[in-house]
Structure 1
Amino acid sequence: MPDLAGKKVLAAVSNRGVEQDELKKPVEHLRQAGAEVVIAAPEAGQVESLVGDWDLGEVFEASEALAAVDEQDFDLLLIPGGTLNADNLRLDADAQRIAKSFAGSGRPIASICHGPWLLVETGLAKDKTLTSYTSIKTDVVNAGGTWKDEQVFRCPANGYVLITSRNPDDLDAFSSAIAEELSS
């Protein structure tokens, strides 16, 4: 595992509905490698996760509100999935601002499962190749992106790196790809 000391990752989530393991596993992986990971949501405080978009999962702590985040302080943006999470984030003006800022400054974004909905909504999927949960394939294509059915995909097009994965089964490869990107 690479040494990620000195790297900062912003995990953007909604206060309810993030897929538990799509937040927990990458955050744990990155923290074990030495990265600082900050969880931010529309409101600072509790983040209620779900398992399989249905069952209640663990509760996490958002240390910052998305509106208060200075995204320039971070090296990578992590957008976990969960249908409710992704649908809420795609409509959140602060989440949109943060995603556009990362892409505009050439910093990497990593997103899994339904998380790419935020990229679709902001126009950041256009001319990108990515993977996601299969149910949003049409949204990606309609937004001008190219969809692939792969465990993890890294796309450097349009001036920023986008790392995507399909679902919780891909979390080990997804987490490793993020760590590798941060170590380069």
Structure 2
Amino acid sequence: MIARLTLRDVVFLAVVAACLLAISFLIVPLVIAIPIPGIRSLAPSPFYGLLLAVALLKVRQPGTLFVVVSLVGLVLLMMAWVMFAVNVIAGALAELIVLAVFRSYQRNEAVLLAAGLYMPLTVLVSLGIGAVVGGPTIAQFLMNPWLIVPVLGATALLSFIGAWAGLRLGQELRVAGVLRA
């Protein structure tokens, strides 16, 4: 699934992963006390969409999204295995969906879909893992979809807005000669 990446590509993807982690570490503590499932994915979703779109525009190879989210997940693994699992599973699902539809990242629509789809999938995967591991607390939230659906919709909206902005930013950077494939 992962294509050949050059050292330059891997370093760029690692820098993107580090930026995603820095953004998460700044934003998520602001919303961590709010007891709504998925709120931790909602807050950083536009930034994830933006940076993932730029990464996918730079490295247009299958497996790029999975590499970035796996690097993020490896750092999160030091805090909790669940965060690692959520990142890796959501990244793999987003990658598989996009590659099943577009077969590559050569089209901008594929980049937009992959970057926008990742964060909403983290909400769904975390709810799925939480239902298996979390017990009755998560089951209460799953019985009330009116709590989950708005957060999922807002996460998807913000993520796709961020991905669209990242697509525009990446195109401008490419025209300026800063972002070369």
TM-score interval, smaller chain: under 0.3
Higher helix share: 2
Higher-Rg member (1/2)? 2
TM (normalized to structure 1)? 0.26
Higher strand share: 1
Greater relative contact order (CA < 8 Å, ≥ 6 in sequence): 2
